[in-house]
Each structure stands twice: as structure tokens, then as C-alpha cells.
Structure 1
Amino acid sequence: MKYIPCQKRRRVIRKEQSGERRELYRCAHGGAETYGKEVEEESCSRCTLRQVLLSHQPCKLQAPANAIYPQPMYGEDGEVRYTPTDAAPPICPRGYARREDDAWTFDSAWYPCPFRAFNNDRKPDGQLQVNAYCSIVKKAVLPKECEHCKGALTQVGASTNPEDIPDFPAVKKLAVSYWQAVKNWIKAGRPIRTDTEVNHLHATYCSQCNWYDKKSQRCKGCGCKVRAEGAALMNKIRMETEHCPRDFW
């Protein structure tokens, strides 16, 4: 499974009877139909309740007991899509536009921003409720408020996460971590991410993260080299078996 970033996903290490340890992920969002269940890449990537960066509400949410509408999902292009039912089409979620030829599908009007997080929930009737939060002004925002920042993102210098920035790990710890990562990578058959995947992850998460040291091109969380280019042995992001220490990817 790829490491899809979500603050409502919990990593679990289960020890089998054979003694082998198995890594799995469990959904902790009470408003999702997958709550408490083991989840895979496909279900996480399509979930409209996925929390990318920040979490401002507890996970003790109750899924709608008598929902009229089924849980909406993301489409291939990021649109929100409901499965049609006998009920009237749902209300258009905040920051989305209803398609003219499909009353059950909504296209996003939010433009990409590394400082915006979504903490979406479901209303009692099952409809999607979109909640956007800005880590710069530190409050909930509406689409019209975000428009004021459009085109000026490069001038904003702020942390995307309130956590303290760690120091680089000690040399001994780094050596052990690197050796274990290489062993796992070789054991898995040396899988690598494509150039497109590497560039996307580096531009979307690493270069925007305050744990990333741009001068040395290293992550302060793990100490590894993380670059947009380079061979897998000298570039953690290239190894498909590796993931971000903050679970952003």
C-alpha cells in the first residue's frame, strides 16, 4: 500500500502466530463507512473525509445512523461523487460546483494550497460537510477568503504544522535506519517510484515542509536525502517501500 497522507488513519503492527509482523492501516474517522476497519490504497484515495495535513477535531465521531445519502467518494479528477438514490440530489458542498449534466457529481472550486487543510464530516442525513482550515491565519476559511491569497503563496513564510522542528538524528541512528531501509527495499524486490510520482511528492509535501532542509536536501525527521531526482540508494523518496516520517506520503 502507498502511504496516502491522512490524519485519521492509524498504523498498526500486528504479530502473526508465525512470529511475523504485519503492517496494516485502520480508519479512525467516525463519520466514514470504513471506521474501525482495515483500509487499503483504493478506499483511502477515494475517501472525501481524508485529512491531508492538520487535524482539529477528535476521531470520536459517530457515523450517521439513518443516513439518506451513501458516503460520497472522490472521482478520478478529484470531483465528489454520490451514488444516486431515490432521494432528491444532495446540496452542493461548500467550495464545489454541481455538474450541469449530473446532479450527483460536484467539481471542486478550491485551488491548490499547501497551507489549507480539510476536516470534512457528514451531516446526519449523510451529506458531505466541507470544513477548510488555514494554517496561516489559523481559522476556518471559506472559498472567497482563500481567493484573497491566490497568487501570493510564494510570499508566505509560515509553518504548515505546529509541531516542533526536530534536529537531524545522530549518525549512529541514521546509519541503522538507512541500513534497515535498504534491507526492506531489497527484500521487496527494489521497487521504485516513477519520476512523476517523485516530483509530485517532493513538490507537494517535502519542499513545503518545515522539517525539510533545502540546503542539504535532507529530512530532519529521518535524516535521509530527499530529492526530486537521484538514484534510489541515495534518495529515500525514490524507494517505494519508504514513507514520510510525518505520514504525508
Structure 2
Amino acid sequence: MGPGDLAVYPPAVVPHHLTTGNFAAAARAVPLARQYLNSVLVAGVITAAQLLTSVLAAYALVFLPLRGRGAVFGVFLATLMVPWEAVIIPNYLTVSDWGLANSYFGLVLPFLASGFGTFMLRQSFRQFPAELRDAARIDGAGHWRFLWRILVPLNKPSLAAIAIYVFLSAWNQYFWPLIITRTPQMQTVQIGLTSLSYADAADPGLILAGVLLSLLPTLALVVLGQRFIVRGLTAGAVR
């Protein structure tokens, strides 16, 4: 809607004149395209890293003969009980001391591993039939081949559910990108939306246009991956 339609009371449900000017104006007010790209890169790297680390950790906890792996798994679960607010200051000081503030490394470094993904995949891997593992071993499959050629393809629903959850969480981050970045060119789209409201608070059309753009990836993920979310999150619930 244009400014005229937005100022009408009662508000119009359907705009009288369709316009794309709000999107262009939002992109001019803040570097929204660069911030959008930053969000895609950061969320994509965090998702890929957490999938990799969770797969390797869950495999070790289920299939490797490790002494005390129950206690190790308890440590992973304990990380889920620590609120993010309790560790954000140490993370900020560490990243700043390493000279990674206002960089992509600083944005993704504290989120490259997750106890949640390890927990979910451990529950899924525990349901894997022992007969298939024995058959793969007889055929000469080692740990690496068994993991990537057999186990991972058969656990796609759990991996997809974790990927969607991690991507949405990384995409919607606000506080960490706010404190670790210094310039608008390194900020994510969530910070850009807040800056947009300060840049031109009198025109809600710009803010709503930016919000719509930020919602598109999350909406697409939820719609396309809904069945994977349900199947993945219920894996391991019933023996």
C-alpha cells in the first residue's frame, strides 16, 4: 500500500493502487540487500556446522565403544539447561579478544555446535537396526562409509527437522548480531528492520515491506519442510 491507503481509517484491506515503492524505499533507507545476504550466509553456515558436529557426536555416542559415554551425553544435555544470557558476556569478550568482532567469524563462532542437535540425532541413531549395522560390517564398511552412505541417508527426516530448526533460530537472532557488529554492512536483516523503524518511523509501509522480505525464507522452510519437522521431532519418542 502507498502512504494514502495506510492513512485511511478504517484501514483498507485491499489497496486501491498496488505499488512496489516501499521495497525500493526500504532498500535505500538501510543496506537491506547486504543485510539480507549476511543473514543467509550466517544462518547457512551455522546450520551446516551444527549438522556436521551433531552427526559426528551422535555417531560416537551410539556406535563407538567409548567408556563413560553416558556421562559425556549428560554433559551435552547440561548445555541445554544453561540460558544463553548466562554465557553471552564471556562469548563476547572471547570473540572480541580474538579480533573477530564485526566479522562473519564472530557472528557464527559461538553457534557451530549444539547439544540439541546431538540429542536429537542420538535418539534417532539408537533406533537404527543392529542387523543393518552388522550387515554393513560384514560387507567391509568402516565407520566413515557406514555413517555417510547408510546411516545419514536413512535419517533424512531427523536431519531435515534439525536443519529447519537451526536455520530459523539463526535467522531470527537479534541480540548477538546487535552487540558483535559495528557497521550496518555487517549487520543482519533483523538489525536492519530495527534500523528501518528509526530511519523513517512515519512511514510504516517501509517497515512492513522489510518485515515481509525477512519472513519469506522462514515461511518457505516451514511450508516445505512441515512433514520433516513432525517426523524428526517425534523420532525416538516411542520405543
Same topology, TM > 0.5? no
More strand by share: 1
Q: Under a length normalisation based on structure 1, what TM-score does the superposition of the two structures give?
A: 0.24
Q: Under a length normalisation based on structure 2, what TM-score does the superposition of the two structures give?
A: 0.24
Q: Which one has more relative contact order, counting CA pairs under 8 Å at least 6 apart?
A: 2
In our comparison, the structure showing a higher alpha carbon Rg is 2
